[in-house]
Structure formats: C-alpha cells, structure tokens
Amino acid sequence: TNNRFKLRLRNAAQVVAVSTTRETFKKGAAMNTVAIIEDATVVVGLDGTVVAVARETELATQQWYCDAVFDDDVDARGKAVVPGLVDGHTHPVWAGDRVNEFEQKLAGATYMEIHLRGGGIGYTVAQTRAASEEALLELTMGRLDRMLAQGTTLVEAKSGYGLDADSELKLLRVLKRAKDAHAVAVSPTFLGAHSVPRGMSAADAAADVVHKQLPVVVAARDAGLVDVDNIDVFMEKGVFDYSQTDGILSAGKAAGLCLNFHGDELNHMQAAELGAKLGARAISHLEEISKDGIAAMATNNVFGVLLPTTAYVLRIAPPPAREMIDSGVPIALGSDFNPNAHCLSMPFVMNLAAVTMKMTLNEALVAATLNSAASLNKSDMHGSIEVGKWGNLVLIDSPLWTHLVYEMVDAPIAAVYVKGSLAKK
Ligand code: NIG
Ligand code: FE
C-alpha cells in the first residue's frame, strides 16, 4: 500500500537534523547551528529516503501518519539521532601495516625522515602492489565495516598506493567493487600522485600521472569499469611542487573530476592559493596554511577538510580551524585513515577536532556531516536528516547527542541505518 514505510524511529529525545532548509553547506557562524528537534520521529520510505522528520505530537495530528504501517518500528525513547557521519578523507586500500614506524615516530623520527629512508608511502606501495585484488577487496570491506560501526555512512576513498597505471587501476577496481557491495556509500578518488616512485624524478612522476595513469583511469571510468569522482595530489616539499600539482589537477579538471587534494601539510606550499585559483572543491590538511590562503578559500568556497589525527600522531601543530571558520572557510572533517594514522572513527575525529582544534561540538557535527558531504558534492542526498535525502541515521544510546563525542573512543552507538535499513547493531 502507499501507506507502508520502511522505518520509523519514534519519540527520540533529540533528532539532530543539522539542516532543515536544504542548505548545501554551512560556513562561519552558521556552522554552530545544528537544528535539534525534541521528542521527535523520523520516517523513512520504502525507497530509502526520509519522508518525515518532526515532533511526534505534530505527526500524530496527520491522517497519513495515523494510518501508516512501518516494516521496522523502533522505540527511540531516551535516545538521540544524528545524520549518518561522512568521512571526508580516507586511504582505505592498502596491504601491510606500519606499526614499526609508529614506534619510530614515538622515538622521535619525523614523517619525512621515515619516508626518505624507504618507509612511509613507499613501503605501503610495495606491499600493496604485491597484494591480489581479492586480498585488497577483503581488507577494504573489513575497514568499511569498522567505519560503519562507528557511524560513517559516506566515505571519500583514495587510491594512491599503486603509483603506476596498472596498480592504480587495480586499486580503483577494488574501490568500485567495495562501493557496489557495501552499505557505506563511497566517493572514489584517483591519487596516482601520492608519492614519487623510487628512482624517478618528481617531474617524471607528474608526467606519468598526466600522460599515462590519468588517460587509463578516464578510459576505464568511461567504460564503466571504475568510478572516479575526484582527483588528488600530495602537494608537499619533496613530493609534488606547485607547478607539478597545478598540471596534474588541471588535467583532472579537464577530465571532469572534482579537485580535492592534500596541501600545506608539513610545509607552506601555497596550496590554498592554488586550489582557489583552480576552482578546487576541497583541500585537505592545511596545517601550514597562510592568511592569504585562508582568505582565498573563504572567497571561493573551497572546503578545508581538516584531519586532526595527523597532527595528533605526528605531534605537530593542528591546522588553524578557529581562524578558518571565523574567516568563512567551509570546514569538513576526515579520519585520514591510512597506515600512518590508523583511525576509522569519526566520533573520535570529532572529539579531537573539539579538543585540539577548538571547534565547538556543533561545528564538529556540521563538519562531519553536511559539510563533508558537500566537500564531495553529495549534500543533495547525504549529510542531514531532511525529507528527500537518504535515511542514513545514527541512533545514539543517550538522550543527548553530544555523548557521541564526549564518550571517547567507544562511542555509544545503538544502531546505524543506511537508506532506512538496519546496517549495524
Ligand atoms: O594524508 N600525506 C599524504 N598522505 C597521507 C599519508 C599516507 C601515508 O603515510 O601512507 C596523509 O597523511
Ligand atoms: Fe591523506
């Protein structure tokens, strides 16, 4: 019947809608508002989209609601609901681990010292090239499971541990298979410019990305063999410089990809200025951003995707989140899950954002939902609990949503729903 619905979460103490007006993202003071509805109910239709989100007493006056039948009818009394979390930056496809480097870093080695002595990305590339597509798929699926258990329902996911056309294509095929098979939505990113392969110059590596890897990736995309939304570059001293990054991103832009890259992380590189010039969608890290860079990103609505796990694990100063928000840069958050920062939990990232980067809890939630979705150009269907968007919902075992961030490390998540279906208890 047309009065049958997939899911009702009823009488929640709080439903944090984040937005109620279909705004595509928030910046400045607006980042501090999250639209909380008390004693509220969410209804998701058979197609997986939200049909109603309102106070239970208001819905109870409507005839359609009184006559409705729900396949899954959940009493959410004493619990809170937030939108499915969106992880704006991850590297989930790799084999091997670098726990030995964790110990070296604790003993004082820097990221670049480890990189230059053959560890870091180079080590992971060797392990990942040697791994089969099946093995990488299994690893990636397991990581998506763990992200989902922590409330993530949309994730940006990079290639980048292949660094040649065949290996990058293998990683992108893994991402497509994971995307097609897993409940978590995936926005794949081509990161052939993640590092300079051993024995090559940066100029040759950049040329390889533009003239060999990218054409192969675009052809595979056009043939439906892989999905690619975004292009990324590790723009950093000793990796790709300003003009190489400019060339790679411009080629990606010409191929119809969103520009979403690593910049101003360990050294100031004018990444923010470059991103603004090129019309980038997002720039990640930004620990070393300049005042001019902040102004350029604010003016051009370039998303700053901040990754508090990086500064934490490398013991460096975090990015100036407060200054960026107050200057009007739209801010998103990501876990940066990778072998250097082994974090799959957005609630922990939100905790770090609040404690180490002085973001308010509301700002952290907006950054981890609506703004992360918008940084991936997916806020039409993700990032807030609004009629017409996917019914992606995190049910929190507390009447106050803030416990999601306050209860460090093991977030009190009772259930996660994707498109109105129970995806994780
Ligand atoms: O975002 N900075 C470059 N990429 C990752 C690290 C990847 C790695 O070390 O394997 C990052 O921190
Ligand atoms: Fe990264």
Testing ligand 1's pocket by substitution, the residue of 91, 196, 230 carrying the most ligand atoms inside 8 A of its CB is 91
Q: Give pLDDT tens digits for 285-334.
A: 999 999 999 999 999 999 999 999 999 999 999 999 999 999 999 999 99
Task: Say how many Å lie between the CA of residue 340 and the centre of ligand 1.
Answer: 7
Residue ranges with CB less than 5 Å from ion ligand 2: 336
Other C-beta atoms lying within 10 Å of the C-beta of residue 70:
17
Which residue intervals of 46-130 are DSSP H helices? 56-59, 63-66, 99-106, 111-116, 120-130
Other C-beta atoms lying within 10 Å of the C-beta of residue 61:
8
Q: What is the pLDDT of residue 393?
A: 99
Q: What are phi and psi of 127, to 5 degrees?
A: -65, -40
The complex's ipTM works out to 0.95
- Predicted TM-score of the model (pTM): 0.98
Q: What is the CB < 6 Å shell around ligand 1?
A: 91, 120-121, 124, 234, 262, 265, 310, 336, 338-340
- Which atom number of ligand 1 is nearest to the Cα of residue 341? 12
Q: Which domains does the chain have, with CATH numbers?
A: 4-83+384-424 (2.30.40.10), 85-375 (3.20.20.140)
Percent of residues, the chain, with pLDDT higher than 90: 98
Region of residue 106 (left: phi > 0; alpha: psi -120 to 50; beta: else)? alpha
- Which atom number of ligand 1 is nearest to the Cα of residue 340? 9
Q: Give pLDDT tens digits for 115-127.
A: 989 899 999 999 9
